[in-house]
Chains A and B, each alone.
Chain A
Amino acid sequence: MAFLELDGLTKSYGTLTVVKGVNLSVDKGKLVCLLGPSGCGKTTTLRLIAGFVPANAGEIRVGGKTISSAHSTVPPEGRNMSMIFQSYALWPHMTVFENVAYGLKLRRLPQSEVTKSVRTILSATQLLPLENRYPGELSGGQQQRVSLARALVIKPEILLLDEPLSNLDANLREEMRFEIRRLHDEFRYTTVYVTHDQAEAMTTADMIVVMNDGRIEQAGSPEDIYERPETEFVARFIGGTNILSGTRGDKDSVVGEGGLVLRCGSGSTAASGKTAVSVRHHDIELSSAKPKSADTNVTIGTVTRQIYLGSHRDYLVSIAGGETVRTVAPVNVAIPVGQEVWLHFPPEKCRALAQ
């Protein structure tokens, strides 16, 4: 049963509508990632869930109870959620211990219980030796952990994370991704995680929700999103892809402008007019001789760029019809720029996109 439900949630500022009727259900204990480019409305959605901004239309329900609607908004302090902010928002005038203990003190727990809970969470986040430091005396990664500990210690019904890793350097970011997933597996809080980084979403999420222009483009497991994108936007945003446009041919095939016929193993084509096919870079087979087996899904092109990247070579090939296809090939397939080359698009890797 869905624990957190967004129902037709809408938010506008003046004439600008930033969240346009979002519907979403999150099961208890799941980690869902809102993923999208900046300005897609994901952070506003998160702040709507937190209660920092009131909704213009639609509802937010937690466990069946409405907490936000056009008429009333339960204030953030009444929602029993907690949040990790992009800036961490650690209170600089309080020590690590005081930062973490603050939420518990508000709940008027006895001092001994506060100390016990804080110590427990500090050891879970490996912060115990630092409990008397001030936030200004911690490294970025340590501040991030304090922020996590402070959010987790109050045992929230829902945990919200707003691009929590964007201020960390690359190595630390990768480490913290696994750390967040580990803590989620340990504590199992229902979590909403906002990010624009697809690798972050892939590592941490049970469900990825791709947002664009205030709407949900697609929601599903990481596998769904990557292997079965439903729109061109999702295909492009999650992992690089080639989008080849054309018109619908017979059955499940699409005819490109240069006459290339692509048989698609999955997806759906638009009934009429333009339609598109997505093929991931590494799914295209590149060879100097024409492949024997296939008579569809094969075309000839000219190499316009070839880059040696150590583990593989990265090719740009321009094909008939003026389209350019990007593909990767093993290091030993070295075809110089200007030479003709054959491309094979395996049907099971071609995904037809109606929109």
Chain B
Amino acid sequence: MTSDIQVQALPVQGRRRGIDFSWPTFALLTLVLSVLVLLPLFWLVYYSFRSDTGAGATFANYIALVADPTLLRAYGLAIGMALAVGVLACIIATPMAWLVARTDLPGRRTIRMLVTASFVTPPFLGAIAYEILAAPNSGIVNIMYRSVFGLEASEYLVNIYTFSGLVFAIACFTFPYVFTLVANALDKVPSDLEDASSILGGKSMTTLRKVTIPLVLPAMLAGTLIAILQALTMFGSPAILALPAGFHVITTKIWSLFQFPPRLGLAAAAALPLLIITVILLRAQKSILGRKGYTVLGGKSGTPRITELGPWKWPAIAFVFCVLSLTIILPYLAIIKTAFTGTVGDPINLSTLTLSHWRFVLFEFSATQLALRNTFLLGFLTATAVTAIALIVSYLVIRRSVPGSGFLGILATAPVAIPGIVLGVGLFLSYANPTFQLYGTIWILLIAFMTIELPAGYQQMSSAFSGVHPELEEAGRIVGASRLRTLWDITAPLLRTSVVAAWCFVFVGTIRELSATILLTTANTKLVSVIIYDLNESGDLGAICVLGIILLAASFAVVFIANRVPVLGGSQMNTRG
């Protein structure tokens, strides 16, 4: 046996030095990402110093920013709204996360799944659901209230077209951010930390107060900051709920500056503070979460300690049910009901059930088919392009194959700090000029979506790459595979699941985008989200709900297919750490 192995060493056939593609790839990606990220910001700053009427540099826009009371008021309201949303989301989400992660509450897994799934709900659809439920005249809740108590048509119980209504509607769809962060943090607090407190004599409430809560406090704060940021930069919900209420937040104000006569310089100047606030909030969040050894707990965690609720079980169930009803069950029921009945106020019985909205949306309304095609085409293109770019960038960054590749990572992460509406302004200014006549084509939307989704895609891919031990690739090299061959044979199969997940994530994010889209779309490049917004202006809620259901169904279908088809996702392997 020894002798037949002990022959001359086997050389690798076709041994030669391959061309190193690292540098050209690096240069190309740097260029692409710079165009995506830096160009719109450059034009944003440039236009903010330009007068809308004549030529020449001017500070007039910045002066108007301070002097114009409507702009100041819009900023004030937006900040107030965002803070209120943050507080409300935190108050709802934290106890719920604790109940789900750390108690014997029945149905914990289902609740968690439901909340996670509600991430998929586009916030503007939530706002519309609340229009259906709680508009002062036509809202289902108010109609029922009046019929129960036999009141006048002018009476109402709740009114969503108010500042507090807006805060409530947004908080309903941002609390999952806080919930997920806190629940995950609670999962990670090792039970031995709590056991250590108990053994020293801490009663369970003392332990909760002195050990558990301080340990998840950073996650709470970070989640709240995210909710604040989401609310601050959101366009859809305020446009749907605040405009009828008669006030502007900053995103709707910037949008209104694009209406005739357009005041682009002022819009640019008004967008910049939003960018700065976002950067500050993100830095704050990072510094809270980045304090190592505090939130990021190493070591074996064991199973988290479960508190028995005992007699508190029923109030807890009531609380969770109440939250789920307000954030998921009622809105979805309202949307489904509206899609299948004649008008919002109709009672549900056989005679009011109708498919007329479906017929209208799918066959009669001329814009739908184009919008559906555009939406899914853009979703597909964006998801594919972003996943591909993110894959290569994270490879270059994680494996440090080129000096300076860290810069690419920064570029790919930077758009996270650019609110959609700000990016919309920047892209409009960059590509609506005669040099690049992209305005009015779907390419400007593709650029916008790629920029917006790049950070999410990059984050997913780079964490996937760090899960693949570099020695796995080195093992391929040393037994004779070239770098590209190693990538193909070893790295690619190991990353497949993550790539598919990232693709789905980007796709779902793209088809619901509205903030940047609203400034960049034209009659030829309508998207489903924009159609929904347009239909809302004309009050056609039935058609909106049909489109909303189509969007949601598409999102769930993509996620489902990705998880089930063996070629794309689940197979027997698991990546060893």
A residues contacting B by CB (< 8 A) are 50, 52, 74-83, 85-87, 89-93, 102-104, 106-109, 117, 120-121, 123-124, 134-136, 150-152, 154-157, 160, 186-188
Contacts and interface: CB of A to CB of B under 8 A. Distances in A.
Given A78-B12, A78-B17, A121 B479 contact: no
Size range of the interface on B?
Answer: 35 or more
A107 B471 CA distance: 21
A102 B471 contact: no
Contact of A92 (B2, B15, B574): B574
Contacts of A108: 13
A295 to B, nearest CB: 59
A136 B574 contact: yes
B478 A76 contact: yes
A83 B478 contact: yes
A106 B472 contact: no
B87 interface: no
**Chain B residues touching A, majority SS:** loop
B474 A83 contact: yes
A80 B11 contact: yes
Interface in B450-479: 469, 471-472, 474-479
A120 B9 contact: no
B69 to A, nearest CB: 56
A52 B6 contact: no
B10 interface: yes
Contacts of A121: 5
A293 B148 CA distance: 116
A82 B573 CA distance: 25
Contact of A83 (B9, B475, B571): B475
A108 B480 CA distance: 11
A52 B490 contact: no
A106 B480 contact: yes
B533 to A, nearest CB: 45
Best-buried of B7, B11, B18, B475 by chain A (most CB within 10 Å)? B475
Interface string B2-29: 1011111111110111100000000000
B1 A89 contact: no
B12 A106 contact: yes
A104 B7 CA distance: 14
B366 interface: no
Contacts of B538: none
Nearest to A75: B17
A75 B479 contact: no
Contact of A187 (B5, B10, B18, B481): B5
B259 interface: no
B576 interface: yes
Contact of B475 (A89, A107, A124): A89
B207 interface: no
B489 interface: yes
Best-buried of B5, B8, B10, B494 by chain A (most CB within 10 Å)? B10
A52 B477 contact: yes
Best-buried of B469, B485, B490, B576 by chain A (most CB within 10 Å)? B576
